[in-house]
Amino acid sequence: MRLATLAALAACATLAQAQDTAREIQRYRQMIAEGSPAELFELEGETLWKKPQGPKNVSLERCDLGEGAGVLKGAYVHLPRYFKDADRVMDLEARLLHCMTTLQGRSRAEATRRVFGSADRPSEFESLSAYIAAQSRGVKIQPGMSHPKEKASYELGRALYFQRVGAWDFSCASCHGEEGKRIRMQELPVLYKPESARPVIATWPAYRVSTSQFITLQWRMNDCYRQMRTPEPTFASETTVALIHFLTATARGETYRGPGNKR
Amino acid sequence: MSRAALLLALVALPALGEPTPQDVQKVMQHDFHARGQAGMDRVVQDGVQRVCTESHDRPPAELAKALQADQMKTIVYPQGSLLGDWQRGEAIAQSGRGLTWNDKPGDAAGGSCYNCHELSPQELSHGTIGPSLRGFGRSRGASAEVQRYVYGKIYNAKAYNLCSQMPRLGASGTLTPEQIKDLVALLLDPASPVNR
């Protein structure tokens, strides 16, 4: 009897502690949502967008992100989409890379030397993503879904989400497949369901507090595959674009409100 | 019936237009590159991964039984007691290192156990993808059969549940037999915090 009471008390204490932890995390998230360091990356991105670079010494200001050359308003939320000039579906980062190699005349190798940055030195793609995504705030997420290559990209992304692969047999759904699950304390959105994908996609790319870095969806795909113990997916490849396409299409209709903040 | 015929007969074909796991694998072989210890062999699916992908983790019972029996054969049991040191086991359960492209080859890996399971009540930061293992040994005891089951389950979870989300920690070369014995102790030793 006494033992049972003790056990019950201990269980209550643990539960209370866990609830406190969850409350603290919630409070912290609210706090960082109020004044976001993402704005600093947006400013840096604007400078980079307008800076002449590469053998042709031109800026990216004539880059067509799908809404016409140089049009930024609403461009991000309509990606990924099919581009006739490249005859493929591209997300923001793939399109930026395309503009760097065509408009600016830079080599792919040079432009992708450093696609993911560090706390002290963000990558060009990170700053540019912050700036461009911010010009879509308040616009509904609506990636391309009509061209046959857009449909194929979406289907590939969906199939990739469920492909079990790698040294540990994971698919995306191994972690993001069931409601209410966590890795350690991190809650895991079920990203093939619209209600879960919407708030997530509406706030990417984002500033990540724990590492003081600005992170993009290409980075997210890369680091998930790293943890899935696969080899490395190539930056802006068909695979990573298709996954981003599938996730974004699942979130369509949601109003974009990023760049956001992550834990 | 041959294994291949069984596979063909029992696994539903995907609808037209949807990429098959083979199509996806081809794209991945083009789009991925080896880095560090993570080689390109890892994007090639084995039979378990293929069947679980095709069936969305709900394999037909007969096929699951046959493939689980194959997986059971991969388990190598060390001689003698399977009960190692629970304190070392706790450290292994905490560590999420190993097998990624930025882990140094040869460095000791962890089991990533707390990522998905509750074990010691002192560790509040535990995941919930797997069942809680708190008090695991209390009702089961630590008999030779229970030790053998736990060792086998950690070595190759797919031998018990074909499409389990748990990695094959022994069969994949992630953990050594000594490390798995330490995890068996973490789960079964009466002195382990899991059981206290």
Q: Which value does ipTM take for this structure?
A: 0.93
pLDDT band at A30 (very low <50, low <70, confident <90, very high): low
pLDDT surpasses 70 at A233:
yes
The residue of chain A nearest to residue B32, with distances taken between CA atoms, is: A233
Q: What percent of chain A has pLDDT over 90?
A: 84
Compute the Cα dihedral for A133, A134, A139, A141 and give only its sign: positive
A31 domain-assigned: no
The residue among B77, B52, B55, B75 whose CA lies nearest residue B164 is B52
Q: Summarize the confidence of residues A126-135 as an average pLDDT.
A: 98
Residue B104 CB-density burial (10 A; 0-12 exposed, 13-18 middle, 19+ buried): exposed
Report yes or no: B86 and B192 within 8 Å, Cβ to Cβ. Answer: yes
Report yes or no: A229 and A166 within 8 Å, Cβ to Cβ. Answer: yes
A2 domain-assigned: no
Residue-level pLDDT at A94: 98
The residue among A93, A111, A125, A96 whose CA lies nearest residue A55 is A111
* Phi and psi angles of residue A154, each rounded to the nearest 5 degrees, phi first: -60, -45
Residue-level pLDDT at B6: 54
CB contact under 8 Å between A164 and B56, yes or no, is no
Strand pairing report for A213-215 and A232-233? unpaired
What residues of chain A, 186 to 225, have a C-beta less than 8 Å from chain B? 186, 188, 225
pLDDT band at A106 (very low <50, low <70, confident <90, very high): very high
Mean pLDDT (chain A) is: 92
CB contact under 8 Å between B43 and A231, yes or no, is yes
pLDDT surpasses 50 at A14:
yes
pLDDT band at A7 (very low <50, low <70, confident <90, very high): low
pLDDT band at A120 (very low <50, low <70, confident <90, very high): confident
Q: What is the set of active-site residues of A?
A: 224
* Residue A89 per-residue DSSP state: E
User: Distance (Å, rounded) from C-alpha A94 to C-alpha B177?
Assistant: 45
pLDDT surpasses 80 at A9:
no
Q: Does A39 touch chain B (CB under 8 A)?
A: no
* Residue B32 per-residue DSSP state: E
Report yes or no: A232 and B33 within 8 Å, Cβ to Cβ. Answer: yes
The residue among A148, A126, A129, A136 whose CA lies nearest residue A213 is A126
Q: Summarize the confidence of residues A35-61 as an average pLDDT.
A: 94
Report yes or no: A249 and A126 within 8 Å, Cβ to Cβ. Answer: no
User: Distance (Å, rounded) from C-alpha A125 to C-alpha A107?
Assistant: 15
The total number of structural domains that make up chain A: 1
Which of A25, A149, A165, A219 to mutate to test binding with chain B, by most B CBs within 10 Å of its CB?
Answer: A165
User: Distance (Å, rounded) from C-alpha B195 to C-alpha B190?
Assistant: 6
Q: Summarize the confidence of residues A134-149 as an average pLDDT.
A: 98
Residue-level pLDDT at A173: 98
CB contact under 8 Å between B33 and A162, yes or no, is no
Residue-level pLDDT at A1: 40
A16 domain-assigned: no
Q: Which residues of B touch A245 (CB under 8 A)?
A: none
The residue with tokens 């006739």 is A84
CB contact under 8 Å between B32 and A239, yes or no, is yes
Tokens representing B130 are: 């797997």
Tokens representing A9 are: 């008390």
Could you tell me the residue ranges of all domains in chain B? Answer: 3-58, 86-195
- Total Cβ atoms within 10 A of residue A122: 24
Helix/strand/coil (H/E/C) assignment for every residue in A56-73: CCECCCCCECCCCECCCC
Q: Which parts of chain A fold into alpha helices (H)?
A: 2-34, 38-49, 92-102, 108-111, 124-134, 148-162, 172-175, 194-201, 217-227, 238-250
Q: A260 pairs with which residues across the strands?
A: A206
Q: Which residues of A touch B35 (CB under 8 A)?
A: 231-232
The residue of chain B nearest to residue A240, with distances taken between CA atoms, is: B31
CB contact under 8 Å between A234 and B31, yes or no, is yes
Report yes or no: A84 and A127 within 8 Å, Cβ to Cβ. Answer: no
Compute the Cα dihedral for B136, B139, B140, B141 and give only its sign: positive
Tokens representing B183 are: 């995890």
pLDDT band at A29 (very low <50, low <70, confident <90, very high): low
CB contact under 8 Å between B49 and A160, yes or no, is no
Residue-level pLDDT at B17: 73
A216 domain-assigned: yes
A222 domain-assigned: yes
* Phi and psi angles of residue B62, each rounded to the nearest 5 degrees, phi first: -65, -45
Q: Which residue has the higher pLDDT, B12 or B180?
A: B180
* Residue B165 per-residue DSSP state: S
Q: A187 pairs with which residues across the strands?
A: A182
A52 domain-assigned: yes
3-state helix, strand, coil in chain B (%, to 5): 45, 0, 50
Q: Does A14 touch chain B (CB under 8 A)?
A: yes
pLDDT band at A11 (very low <50, low <70, confident <90, very high): low
CB contact under 8 Å between A170 and B167, yes or no, is yes
The residue among A181, A161, A182, A180 whose CA lies nearest residue A224 is A161
pLDDT surpasses 70 at B125:
yes
The residue of chain B nearest to residue A178, with distances taken between CA atoms, is: B129
A137 domain-assigned: yes
Residue B35 CB-density burial (10 A; 0-12 exposed, 13-18 middle, 19+ buried): middle
Picking from B32, B38, B172, the nearest residue to A234 by CB comes out as B32
CB contact under 8 Å between B125 and A184, yes or no, is yes
pLDDT band at A229 (very low <50, low <70, confident <90, very high): very high
> Closest Cα of chain B to A241: distance in Å?
11
User: B49-99: per-residue pLDDT in tens?
Assistant: 999 999 999 999 999 999 999 999 999 999 999 999 999 999 999 999 999
pLDDT surpasses 50 at B1:
no
Q: Does A183 touch chain B (CB under 8 A)?
A: yes
Q: Which residues of B touch A240 (CB under 8 A)?
A: 31
> Closest Cα of chain B to A18: distance in Å?
7
Residue-level pLDDT at A36: 75
Inter-chain Cβ pairs, chain A and chain B, closer than 8 A? 140
User: A180-189: per-residue pLDDT in tens?
Assistant: 999 999 999 9
Q: Summarize the confidence of residues A160-178 as an average pLDDT.
A: 98
> Closest Cα of chain B to A154: distance in Å?
10
pLDDT surpasses 70 at B151:
yes
Class of the CATH domain delimited by B86-195: mainly alpha
Q: A79 pairs with which residues across the strands?
A: none
CB contact under 8 Å between A164 and B116, yes or no, is no
Q: Summarize the confidence of residues B149-155 as an average pLDDT.
A: 98
**What is the pTM (predicted TM-score) of this model?**
0.90
What's the CATH number where A252 sits?
A: 1.10.760.10
State which residues form the domain around A68. Answer: 38-262
